[in-house]
Amino acid sequence: MAVILTAVLIYVGCILFVRLRNQATFPLGRQLTDFSTFMVPFNIPAYLLSRVPRSARLPLSTFPEVQILEDNWEAIRDEALALYGQGHISVKDDLPASSFYKDNRWKSFYLKIYDNEIPSAYELAPKTRALIDQVPGMNIALFAVLMPGKRLNQHHDPFAYTVRYSLGLSTPNSPDCGLTINGEDYTWKDGESIIFDETYLHSAYNNTDIPRIILMTDVDRPMRLRFVQRLYYWFGRFFNSLFAIDNLDASYTGIGNRLGKGVLAYKNSLKRIKRWNRPAYVVGKWFVILAVLALIARAIL
């Protein structure tokens, strides 16, 4: 009983943490089962040991190493536009971002995923890749396109051991195309950038008729304890290796993507049930959650 009570208290504490930390939040019903709730214990050390502000947006001065990208943004833009024109920035099959690609609303070209080999990045975007390699702690980078009239719904990214640095390359330069981070809007402009904590609730929108092309990257969050920094790094390296892909060679794909086909099939079946009968979907979802929790409790006891 003590184990169950402890688990319940941790769960409630996680919900309170997310809702008190974020100025903008999901409805409580969704927060109960959103993965941002369950990721709190994993992310707490990153928040507590952070050497940079824990606010939703961070000043560029906290990461002076990205200045080399700022200074060369036009060269980066030119490579991105060439890739977009050739159709190489496209819909991908990487599981963690699968929902973003729905309805062709989001397209990408991966430049770096830790130390996973991406031959097409070196071949087709050599200048950008060379610049990225000069930024310490920048272990994930991609060109990302949000298509005209599309949006990415509100979401929390899972991990706090990185922060998101994004640079506008070819954008509508309009208030109708931007980000909403923790309830505050940011407008994309060519050559301008933003750093933010992606574990805050955020969304993206492009209410124009022009594609929005940016360089999107994750940079390691500087921490006060080196061994914790290294533990998070090794986790990120391992996790992302499971979902590694190449932009041109479809046969090169991580084991997580291959095994994840079943997960996607399960999620799609849930969506069909939700469209058919929402009450049945809610009851079924909670039945599965409670059944899993009961099995865990039984195993512990």
At residue 250, the pLDDT reads 73
Indicate the residue type of 7.
A
Task: Say yes or no to pLDDT of 300 above 80.
Answer: no
Claim to verify: residue 273 and residue 128 sit in the same structural domain = no
Residue 142 CA to residue 116 CA, distance in Å, equals 13
**Two structure tokens written together for 14:** 């996680």
Rounded percentage of the chain residues whose pLDDT exceeds 70: 87
| Residue 22 belongs to a domain | yes
Confidence of residue 93 (pLDDT cuts 50, 70, 90): low
Q: pLDDT, tens digit, for every residue of 223-267?
A: 999 999 999 999 999 999 888 888 887 777 777 666 656 666 666
Claim to verify: residue 88 and residue 161 sit in the same structural domain = yes
For residues 5 and 210, which has the higher predicted lDDT (pLDDT)? Answer: 210
**Structural domain that includes position 280:** 260-301
Q: Total domain count for the chain?
A: 3
Q: pLDDT, tens digit, for every residue of 173-195?
A: 999 999 999 999 999 999 999 99
Confidence of residue 80 (pLDDT cuts 50, 70, 90): very high
| Residue 107 belongs to a domain | yes
Q: Mean pLDDT across the chain, nearest whole number?
A: 88
Claim to verify: residue 76 and residue 33 sit in the same structural domain = no
| Residue 248 belongs to a domain | yes
Q: pLDDT, tens digit, for every residue of 34-66?
A: 889 999 999 999 999 999 999 999 999 999 999
Claim to verify: residue 155 and residue 14 sit in the same structural domain = no
Closest CA to 48 of 218, 221, 181: 221
| Residue 11 belongs to a domain | yes
| Residue 7 belongs to a domain | yes
Claim to verify: residue 160 and residue 201 sit in the same structural domain = yes
Claim to verify: residue 134 and residue 240 sit in the same structural domain = yes
Claim to verify: residue 269 and residue 248 sit in the same structural domain = no
Claim to verify: residue 106 and residue 130 sit in the same structural domain = yes
Claim to verify: residue 33 and residue 174 sit in the same structural domain = no
Cα–Cα distance list, 301 to 115, 124, 288, 297 (Å): 41, 55, 20, 6
Q: What CATH number does residue 118 fall under?
A: 2.60.120.330
| Residue 51 belongs to a domain | no
Sign of CA dihedral 112, 233, 99, 174: negative
Q: Contact, 241 vs 258, CB < 8 A?
A: no
Claim to verify: residue 92 and residue 6 sit in the same structural domain = no
For residues 269 and 109, which has the higher predicted lDDT (pLDDT)? Answer: 109
At residue 264, the pLDDT reads 60
| Residue 49 belongs to a domain | no
| Residue 46 belongs to a domain | no
Task: Say yes or no to pLDDT of 301 above 60.
Answer: no
pLDDT-wise least confident of 60-64, 77-81, 162-166, 269-273: 269-273
**Two structure tokens written together for 67:** 């200045």
Claim to verify: residue 14 and residue 106 sit in the same structural domain = no
Task: Say yes or no to pLDDT of 299 above 60.
Answer: no
